[in-house]
Each structure stands twice: as C-alpha cells, then as structure tokens.
Chains A and B, each alone.
Chain A
C-alpha cells in the first residue's frame, strides 16, 4: 500500500479530502459528521489538520506521532 504524504499539500486539499470522508475542519482542528472534534485516542489530544494521518479501519484520523502509530499497529496489526 502506498503512503501518500500530505506534507506539502495545501490546506484546501486536506479539507477537501476530509469533506469527502464525512469530516469537516475549521482550518486547524477536525470534526466528525456530528460536529464533534476528532480526538486521537492514543494520545488523548485533538487532531490538527496540519499533522494528521488517515488510516484504514473505519477511516481513522490520528495525529501523526510515534505513539499513535504504534498504538494503531498494536490494535490493527501491520496492515500496510
């Protein structure tokens, strides 16, 4: 599976991707379809649009950091 980096992608594209997945953003944080702020359960912090990863498993939006990614691998296995 290809890892597509959003590092150099503009905010408009990030927002558009999130919208297509049923999320929204105020330009900083991310909200789910119920308008609830998306919180990364592995670090217990709100996910910021400029540092997000979107992974499989019901389209999980997480903060991009080693603790969250290791947690994801523990829960889902190394699926990519």
Chain B
C-alpha cells in the first residue's frame, strides 16, 4: 500500500478521534451552559413533565396541604403517578419495584392507597368533622404510618370468612375510629360480603362506601 493512501485502521482511528473531539467540544459547551443554570440534563423529558404536572394538579394540591411528612408526601405523589401509569405495565412494574425497594411493603401500600383514591376519599369524609387543619394532618398521617392496621387490601384469592374474622378481631381489639376495606375486580364482591357481615355483627360501627365499576372502598366508622 502506498504511503499516501491511509489504511482502513488509520481511517477508523481518524473517525474515532474526530467523534471524540466533537463529543469533547459539545460536552464542554453544554457543561458551561449547565453551570450557568441555562440547562439541566435529563434522559426522558416525559418523566419530569409528568412529575411537575402532577404537583400542579388539584388532587396533589389537596393532599400536599394535608400531608406534611416528607416520606409520606413522596409516597402520596407516587400513588398519583402509579394511577397515571396504570395502562403502562412496564413503567408501573418499574416504579412499584423502586418504591418497594426503598420503602418496603408498607411504602408500596401507602402509594396504592393514594393510587386507588382511598386517601382522598378519607380526607373528603373526615374534613367536615375536623376543626383544625393540623388535626386532619395528624389523622391522615397516623392512618398512613400504620396503614396495615387501618386499611385492609383485599386480594382476589382472599376468603370472605377469614377476612370477617380478621376485621372483627381488629375492631374488637383496637377499637379504631376508622377501618377501611379496599377491593378491586374479583375482590370487590368479597369486600361487599365482608361489609354486610360486619354491619350485622358490630352495631357500634357504621359503614359507607365509594365505588366504581371495578373498585370499592368501604369505610367502617365508629359511632360516637
């Protein structure tokens, strides 16, 4: 090969060097813009847009007013995100896994309680009876911090009689002001049957519910 004609490897090395130099120049210009607070670097703009949009939405405005604890606020926001991502299985799976990894099963249940409108409905039902905003905050945060105690998430394979026993024990032992049952799809029917048995067995409690075609939230409230 003549000395004047570059070999293939020389050409490749030249291209690589050129690309790297181009990347260096671009990086330098961008980092300068970053340091001047003109830009930020992101992977997918939709992720940030979604979070920002949610924080401006009416439901977050209400939840954000009531929930003050940082961890609970984050999980509540994630509940709204999970609701928005309900039709995107891959993104839902990924976010649920991150919530579970960082905050455990209780954390995921807190997010699910918001996702399924349980907390917004609870606030709607409670707020007329609560005088000071701080009392509402305490009440909602207590519910969220002890979510396994106050909310029963009914699974599709849960048996009605086992659940009735579980709920009865809780009402007898803890005498909570409120106990919430949640069921979706197949579990909705189970929740309804548990409710009717609890109504018959506990005259000191009254129930109310919010339901859609696929979900039901049943509030079991202590009578004063």
Contact partner of A80 among B40, B44, B78, B95, CB < 8 A? B40
Is A28 part of the contact surface with B, judged by Cβ < 8 Å? Answer: no
Q: Check B78 against A67 for contact (C-beta < 8 Å).
A: yes
Query: If the complex has contacts A13-B23, A44-B101, are A69 and B43 also in contact, measured as CB distance less than 8 A?
Result: no
Query: Could you say which interface size class chain B belongs to?
Result: 35 or more
Contact partner of A7 among B44, B51, B55, B70, CB < 8 A? B44
Cβ proximity bits B42-67 to A, threshold 8 Å, 1 near / 0 not: 11110110111001000000000000
Within the assembled complex, what's the spacing in Å between the Cα atoms of A45 and B9?
40
Q: Check B55 against A78 for contact (C-beta < 8 Å).
A: yes
Q: Check B30 against A4 for contact (C-beta < 8 Å).
A: yes
Contact partner of B98 among A3, A7, A67, CB < 8 A? A67
Within the assembled complex, what's the spacing in Å between the Cα atoms of A42 and B78?
12
Q: Check B40 against A16 for contact (C-beta < 8 Å).
A: no
Could you tell me the distance in whole angstroms from the C-beta of B98 to the nearest C-beta in chain A? 5
Is B202 part of the contact surface with A, judged by Cβ < 8 Å? Answer: no
Within the assembled complex, what's the spacing in Å between the Cα atoms of A65 and B55?
15
> From A68, which residue of chain B is reached at the shortest CB distance?
B98
What are the residues of chain B within 8 A of A52 when measuring CB–CB? 41, 43
Could you tell me the distance in whole angstroms from the C-beta of B115 to the nearest C-beta in chain A? 12
Query: If the complex has contacts A42-B102, A65-B47, A67-B78, are A20 and B27 also in contact, measured as CB distance less than 8 A?
Result: yes
Chain A interface helix/strand/loop/mixed: mixed
B59-85 interface (Cβ within 8 A of A): 70, 73-74, 77-78, 81
Within the assembled complex, what's the spacing in Å between the Cα atoms of A44 and B74?
14
Contact partner of A65 among B23, B30, B70, B95, CB < 8 A? B95
Contact partner of A3 among B37, B45, B99, CB < 8 A? B45
Within the assembled complex, what's the spacing in Å between the Cα atoms of A4 and B78?
24
Is B19 part of the contact surface with A, judged by Cβ < 8 Å? Answer: yes
Q: Check A56 against B40 for contact (C-beta < 8 Å).
A: yes
Interface residue ranges, A against B (CB under 8 Å): 1-7, 10, 12-13, 15-17, 19-21, 42-45, 50-56, 59, 64-67, 69-71, 73-74, 78, 80
Q: A53-B42, A73-B55 are in contact. List 8 more A-B contacts (CB 8 A).
A: A4-B39, A16-B26, A21-B31, A45-B101, A67-B98, A69-B51, A70-B81, A71-B74
A-B contact pairs, 10 of them (CB 8 A): A16-B20, A43-B98, A50-B43, A52-B41, A53-B40, A65-B94, A66-B47, A66-B77, A67-B102, A70-B77
